[in-house]
C-alpha cells in the first residue's frame, strides 16, 4: 500500500528530528560501511563496445561483462547531426579502427569500486559507467572528437586522457568528470604515466593514419615528442624529442614515435617501443641518453612493408615485473610475446599469440597478461619461465587490460 503525501512528509520530519536530537547530544549517526572490494582485471573489447571483468590472478576466469556504450543511440544521433564529428567518426572507422568503430580504448575503476571510467575513441569522450546499473554517471567530451589512452593518479582521484586529434591531455576528477586541467602535447598524444615525483608524462606517436611510412617521408608524421607536465599545476616542465637521442645512439633509422612505455621501479630507466620497430629502447632520464637498444626476432611470415603495420606499430605492448628484473613485450605484427631479461636484454621463448596489442602485470605480479586482439582472448605468461600459462576468451578485439577494484560479489548489471 502506498504512503500518502502527508504520511510521507510526517515520517520525513520525524527522521529529521531524530537526526537533530542525535547531533544535539553530541553523538553521530553510524556511517554507511564502504563495500569490500576485490581486485580484478578490466579487458576492453574495442570493436564490440564491452569490457570483460576477469580474475586478476590464477586461472583469470571471467567474472562478468559491462556494456560501455549503453548510450549508443544517443551518441550516434548527436554525431550524425554534427558534420565535422561525423567525418571524424567515419574516419576513425576507416583508419585506426580497421573498418570497425572503436568503442573502448582504456578503462579504470573509481577508488570506491562503484564505476568504470572508459575512454571511447569513436564517441570522442570519457564516461563513467555505474557498475550496478550500467548507466552513464558522467560524460566528458574531449576536444577534437577522439579520446585515447588514459592514466590514473597514484591516489586514484584523477584520470588523464589523451585527445589525439587536438594534441591535448585533459585531467579530470574521476568521481565527477570535472576538468581539473589540461596541457598541450606533441602530435597524436598516446600513452600517459603519472610518476612518484609528481609529474605526468605523455608520449606522442605522430600521424599514424597515412601511408607516408618510408623513412624519407618521416617529416610528414608531425612533431613527436615526450611531454612532461607538473601533475599538480598541469604546466609543461620539459619536452624530450627522441630524434636527437636516437641519432646519438647510432640509430637514425628508428622512428622517434614513442609508443607503450614503462619505467623501472626506481624510475632510473625508461623503456619504450617506437613505430615500425621489432624491439625496445632503454633511456636514462638522469643523463638524458639512450643507453641500450634491443632488436627482437622477426616473424618470417610478417611483411616488412611498413604500410601493412596496424597504426604504424610493429610491436605494441610493454610491461615489467614488479621487481624490475624482467620485461614483457607484445610483438604485435610478429604474432608473439616474450619475456626479456632486463639485465642482459636477452629474450626468452617466443610465445605464439595472435596480434597481441597490450601487456600488463597480474595482480600477484607473477605473470604478464597480454591481449590477443586477433583471436579475442587474453593470455597469461609466467615471468619466471617465459611460458604460457592460460588463455581466456573475451570479446571482439581486446586491447587495453587494466588492474581494477570492484565490490566483492559483483555480477554483471542487467542489459
Rounded to the nearest angstrom, the gap between the alpha carbon of residue 22 and the centroid of all alpha carbons in its chain is 47
pTM of the model: 0.91
Ordered domains of the chain (ranges, CATH): 43-407 (2.130.10.10)
Least Cα distance to 245 among 282, 210, 192 occurs for: 282
What residues form DSSP beta bridges with 272? 261, 281
What residues form DSSP beta bridges with 363? none
Question: What does the CA dihedral 9, 12, 16, 22 come to, rounded to 10 degrees?
Answer: 140
What phi-psi label fits residue 396: left (phi over 0), alpha (psi between -120 and 50 degrees) or beta?
A: beta
As to burial, measured by CB atoms within 10 angstroms (0-12 exposed, 13-18 middle, 19+ buried), residue 256 is buried
Residue 35 has what pLDDT?
A: 82
Q: Mapping DSSP to helix (H, G, I), strand (E, B) and coil, where does residue 30 land?
A: coil
Assigned C-alpha cell, 52: 570483460
Distance from C-alpha of 303 to C-alpha of 309, rounded to nearest angstrom: 9
| Segments in the chain below pLDDT 50 | 1-30
Residue 209 has what pLDDT?
A: 85
Rounded to the nearest angstrom, the gap between the alpha carbon of residue 100 and the centroid of all alpha carbons in its chain is 19
What residues form DSSP beta bridges with 141? 125
Q: Give residues with Cβ within 8 angstroms of 114, minimum separation 6.
A: 130, 131, 132, 407
Assigned C-alpha cell, 411: 555480477
Amino acid at each position: 500500500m502506498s504512503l500518502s503525501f502527508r504520511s510521507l512528509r510526517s515520517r520525513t520530519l520525524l527522521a529529521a528530528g531524530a537526526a537533530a536530537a542525535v547531533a544535539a547530544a553530541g553523538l553521530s549517526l553510524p556511517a554507511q560501511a564502504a563495500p569490500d572490494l576485490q581486485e580484478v582485471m578490466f579487458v576492453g573489447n574495442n570493436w564490440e563496445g564491452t569490457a570483460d571483468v576477469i580474475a586478476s590472478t590464477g586461472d583469470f576466469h571471467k567474472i562478468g561483462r559491462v556494456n560501455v556504450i549503453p548510450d549508443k543511440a544517443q551518441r550516434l544521433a548527436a554525431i550524425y547531426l554534427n558534420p565535422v564529428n561525423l567525418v571524424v567518426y567515419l574516419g576513425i572507422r576507416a583508419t585506426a579502427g580497421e573498418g570497425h568503430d572503436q568503442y573502448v580504448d582504456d578503462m579504470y575503476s573509481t577508488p570506491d569500486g562503484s564505476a568504470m571510467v572508459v575512454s571511447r575513441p569513436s564517441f570522442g569522450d570519457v564516461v563513467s559507467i555505474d557498475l550496478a546499473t550500467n548507466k552513464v554517471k558522467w560524460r566528458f567530451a574531449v576536444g577534437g572528437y577522439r579520446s585515447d589512452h588514459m592514466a590514473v593518479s597514484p591516489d586514484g582521484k584523477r584520470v588523464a586522457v589523451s585527445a589525439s586529434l587536438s594534441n591535448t591531455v585533459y585531467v579530470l576528477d574521476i568521481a565527477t568528470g570535472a576538468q581539473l586541467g589540461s596541457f598541450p602535447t606533441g602530435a597524436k598524444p598516446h600513452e600517459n604515466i603519472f610518476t612518484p615525483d609528481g609529474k605526468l608524462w605523455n608520449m606522442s606517436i605522430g600521424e599514424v593514419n597515412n601511408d607516408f611510412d618510408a623513412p624519407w617521408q618521416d617529416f610528414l608524421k608531425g612533431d613527436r615528442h615526450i611531454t612532461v607536465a607538473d601533475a599538480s599545476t598541469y604546466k609543461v616542465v620539459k619536452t624530450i624529442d627522441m630524434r636527437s637521442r636516437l641519432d646519438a645512439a647510432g640509430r637514425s633509422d628508428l622512428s622517434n614515435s614513442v609508443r607503450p612505455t614503462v619505467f623501472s621501479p626506481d624510475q632510473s630507466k625508461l623503456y619504450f617501443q617506437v613505430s615500425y620497430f621489432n624491439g625496445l629502447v632503454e633511456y636514462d632520464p638522469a643523463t638524458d641518453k639512450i643507453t641500450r637498444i634491443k632488436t627482437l626476432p622477426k616473424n618470417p611470415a610478417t611483411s616488412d612493408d611498413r604500410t601493412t603495420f596496424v597504426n604504424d606499430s610493429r610491436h605494441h605492448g610493454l610491461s615489467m615485473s614488479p621487481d624490475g628484473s624482467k620485461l614483457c613485450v607484445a610483438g604485435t605484427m610478429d604474432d608473439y610475446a616474450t619475456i626479456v631479461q632486463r639485465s642482459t636484454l636477452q629474450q626468452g621463448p617466443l610465445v605464439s599469440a595472435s596480434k597481441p596489442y597490450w601487456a600488463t602485470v597480474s595482480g600477484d605480479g607473477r605473470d604478464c597478461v597480454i591481449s590477443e586482439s586477433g583471436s579475442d582472448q587474453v593470455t597469461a605468461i609466467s615471468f619466471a619461465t617465459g611460458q604460457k600459462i592460460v588463455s581466456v576468451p573475451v570479446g571482439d578485439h581486446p586491447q587495453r587490460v587494466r588492474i581494477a577494484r570492484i565490490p566483492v560479489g559483483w555480477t554483471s548489471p542487467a542489459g
